[in-house]
Structure 1
Amino acid sequence: MTTALTGRMHDLQLDSVDKVKLAHEHDRSDVKVHASAMWYAPRGVTPFTIYTLIVSCPGTKAWWVIQKRFSQFHCLRKQLQKLHAFSTGAIRSLLKDIAKCEFPSRHLSFDTATIVTERKTLLQDFTTKVIALRAACVLQSLNAETTSLGAKLDHIYDILQRFLEIPDGLRDEDLRHTLSVSSPTCSNGSGSPSTANEDDEESCAICMSAFDASESVLTMACHHSFHEDCIIHWFEEKLTCPLCRDEAVGGHVVGC
């Protein structure tokens, strides 16, 4: 009997397994994470900082927004460190990098500009490692030889999935969308999501430049598309579509 993640992988046909491997190997090495921070001071509540991270996975062709406080990142790291400390063999090796990586310190004082800047950089790196670990769980599940190993991979994968808060629509489409793309490398060929919406968008509404197959383009849930570099700067101010003001939660990556 296989567990959820391993069962899902083992049900695939051989050519589909190869596609999943390529996609997650691509994500493990080339994921992009953009970080920003905003200070909140609600009335009657101690001021706090929210860290916003835009995750762009070129292999599985998905992007989404993560918004969390430092304490939530710290909690995940402690959980993964504990798993690493009490694990052996393949699981201990799998968790070594993220358990030993540099991580921002906790401070008793209010968040200063220096603290926020340091955390923003290190949390961006940490999130990159979380995505890489998630991809590694998928890759190892394809070769899991025992139910016990599969169950442990499932447990780690579920922890990461809950933390990453991938929107339901993207999470449900993840495997189907990966299999629909013939190769996770840079391509706008058949099988790739189109940068054009029903209005036949051919250029980025932010910079007014035409889309190029060599550039990374993010398509939103509202079907509007923008150059990744352009929309990331926009998201630092507003998590909405520049054209229709639809909330930015995630979508698909087109191109490199």
Structure 2
Amino acid sequence: MAKFSSSDSNSTYLRCLIDSSFDLDEALTLPESSPDQQITTANSLVAEMPTVLPDEDSICSICMEGFSPDIGGKRVSCGHVYHATCISSWLSRYDSCPLCRCDISGGR
């Protein structure tokens, strides 16, 4: 019979707990409207966001890439800045800021 150390069982337990959390999180964020409608809503929300020029060492925390000085980024209501395409893609699935989870759904 194989012996398992307590660290093996703790590791397995944590892995199962994390997997369950991700499954639950995914189930709780299932879309209530059609994907096309969500994309249209996300694009219109992003179009209304102010375009800003972040610091040159700033990065988009969604894609982890820097900002182009001639394009800038979109600032959401909580103040965080993302690439327009990144935040639009995010908002087609979620209603909150990727960093602080502040509601930025625009009442949808």
Distance 1:202 1:238, change over 3 A: same
Cross-structure match for 2:58: 202
Distance 1:210 1:248, change over 3 A: same
1:223 has 2:82 as partner: no
Match of 2:33 among 31, 38, 48: 38
Cross-structure match for 1:242: 98
Equivalent position SS for 1:51: helix
Cross-structure match for 1:51: 37
TM (norm. structure 2) is: 0.51
1:38–1:51 CA contact under 8 A, matched in 2: yes
Equivalent residues in 2 for 1:122-161 (5 A)?
Answer: none
1:204–1:225 CA contact under 8 A, matched in 2: yes
- 1:204 maps to a residue whose letter is C
TM (norm. structure 1) is: 0.24
- 2:79 maps to a residue whose letter is H
Q: Distance in 2 between matches of 1:231 and 1:214?
A: 18
Q: CA deviation at 1:207?
A: 0.8
Q: Which has the higher helix share?
A: 1
1:195–1:219 CA contact under 8 A, matched in 2: no
Equivalent residues in 2 for 1:1-256 (5 A)?
Answer: 38=33, 51-52=37-38, 53=41, 54-55=43-44, 56-57=46-47, 62-63=48-49, 193-196=52-55, 202-215=58-71, 217-249=73-105
1:218–1:225 CA contact under 8 A, matched in 2: yes
Equivalent position SS for 1:233: helix
Q: Distance in 2 between matches of 1:242 and 1:228?
A: 13
Q: Distance in 2 between matches of 1:248 and 1:242?
A: 10
Q: Percent identity?
A: 24
Equivalent position SS for 1:240: coil
Question: Between Structure 1 and Structure 2, how many residues are aligned?
Answer: 72
Distance 1:236 1:195, change over 3 A: same
Q: Distance in 2 between matches of 1:214 and 1:234?
A: 23
Unaligned 5+ segments in structure 1 are 1-35, 40-48, 65-191, 251-256
Distance 1:50 1:195, change over 3 A: same
Cross-structure match for 1:4: none
Q: Distance in 2 between matches of 1:234 and 1:214?
A: 23
- 1:240 maps to a residue whose letter is S
Q: CA deviation at 1:214?
A: 3.1
Q: Distance in 2 between matches of 1:37 and 1:50?
A: 12
- 2:59 maps to a residue whose letter is S
Q: CA deviation at 1:195?
A: 2.6
Unaligned 5+ segments in structure 2 are 1-30
